[in-house]
Amino acid sequence: MRVVNMGLLLVCAAFAQSFKPQGGGNLREEEAMWGDYLMDRDDNHAEIKAVLPGTCFACKRIINKVKAQLDGDNDKDNIAAKLDTICGSMGILKAICKKLVNKYKEELITDLVNDEDAKDACKKLKLCK
């Protein structure tokens, strides 16, 4: 029984370590990455009142990945096309990326046209602190 428990503990520890940020990030970096998670319940529907976990990190990642693909072509149509396909390359952030792009597409396009800093743009959208 102890061998099974020890094995299970090791598997759980390895699984938890797989979520550790690359580069050995500290707790403050992890908090910044995952943001705050607050929701209000209204008529059995969850309404997002603040930042879901990962939205700050995902928002900045979306902007930086699109910027890297623009090659100086900050045309609205080019940016819109990049935003339409960027979530496919976001790995575990794919679902949250799609939600953010669908909800904030016009704002993201404007910020990318104006070459706004990713963190500042995401703060304006209230996705980062």
Residues 91 and 81: their CA atoms lie apart, in Å, by: 19
Please check the confidence at residue 7 and state whether its pLDDT lies above 90. Answer: no
- pLDDT at position 114 is 93
Q: What are the domain boundaries of the chain?
A: 1-26, 55-124
- 78-123 confidence digits (pLDDT tens): 999 999 999 999 899 899 999 999 999 999 999 999 999 999 999 9
The pLDDT confidence band at residue 73, using thresholds 50, 70 and 90, is confident
- pLDDT at position 17 is 53
The pLDDT confidence band at residue 54, using thresholds 50, 70 and 90, is confident
Protein fold of 55-124: NK-Lysin (1.10.225)
Task: Name residues whose C-beta falls within 8 Å of residue 39's C-beta, 6 or more positions apart in sequence.
Answer: 46, 47, 48, 49
